[in-house]
Amino acid sequence: MCCTGFLKVMMFIFNGAIFLAGAAILGVGIWVTVDSNSLLSLANKVVSLPEDIFQLNYVGYVLIGVGAVLLIIGFLGCCGAVKESRCMLLTFFSLVLIIFIIEVAGGVVLFVFNNEVDQIFDTIEDEVRANIQKDYGNENEMTKVWNTTMEQFQCCGYKNYTDFYGSPFNNAGDRYPSQCCSGTGPCTSNAAEKADIKGCFARLLELLEENSVIIAGVAIGIAALEIAAMVVSMVLYCNAGKKGK
């Protein structure tokens, strides 16, 4: 009985956190969907992604869906543990199992079809370069986003300084963003080539590699929590069944 009570408390706390996270994600999703001047519209100005790869306009709906699922899972877990409802516990177990299977399948797909993933990144690179060469130095919001990104990550363009060749900023003279050069002098093509500042995509990959242990730990931790939640829900499910007899 003592062990069962402890499991019920842990189940309630764990799913309470899931419920609150779901509510927060749902709120953000609604805000992004309703607010036409949100970060979504700004992101579309930075990079226009092909429709067959990803639609940034659907991010709000994805967040709403994820938030709603988390809300349902948290509710079922909390109420199922407190009321010892076999129906709620079984539904909770089924939902978590489905999510776990999807995560594993997604990891396998990314590992097996890595060539297709590389092709997607190549397409994104072309789109980003096209937008930079069209709007950088002319479209204020887009220019500010890139300047802030390059300052924060200490990078230059998507791949390197050549991304800015032919942009309105570059056409005003042989000049490139100051983030593409080291030193205080004017950032010309020669100075940018000597500085050899890495692109923001390469810097992002470096950050991911540097924190790969943490990322892997978080992924394993999430998987462990999901397995533990399924085990606990099954234990409570079986105990509820014994009490019903």
CB 47 within 8 A of CB 124: yes
CB 25 within 8 A of CB 73: no
Could you name the CATH architecture of 123-204?
Orthogonal Bundle (1.10)
194: number of CA atoms within 13 Å, CB side? 10
Give the mean pLDDT of 183-210.
86
Q: Which amino acid is at 79?
A: C
Q: Is the pLDDT of residue 235 over 50?
A: yes
Angle made by CA atoms 243, 244, 245, in degrees to the nearest 5: 90
Taking residue 187's Cβ as centre, other Cβ atoms within 10 Å add up to: 23
* pLDDT at site 39: 53
The conformation of residue 155, written as its DSSP 8-state character, comes to -
* Domains in the chain: boundaries: 2-114+213-244, 123-204
Q: Is the pLDDT of residue 36 over 60?
A: no
* pLDDT at site 180: 92
- H or E, element range at 36: none
Taking residue 131's Cβ as centre, other Cβ atoms within 10 Å add up to: 21
* pLDDT at site 115: 63
Taking residue 201's Cβ as centre, other Cβ atoms within 10 Å add up to: 18
Q: Which amino acid is at 11?
A: M
More reliable by pLDDT, 130 or 106: 130
CB 59 within 8 A of CB 34: no
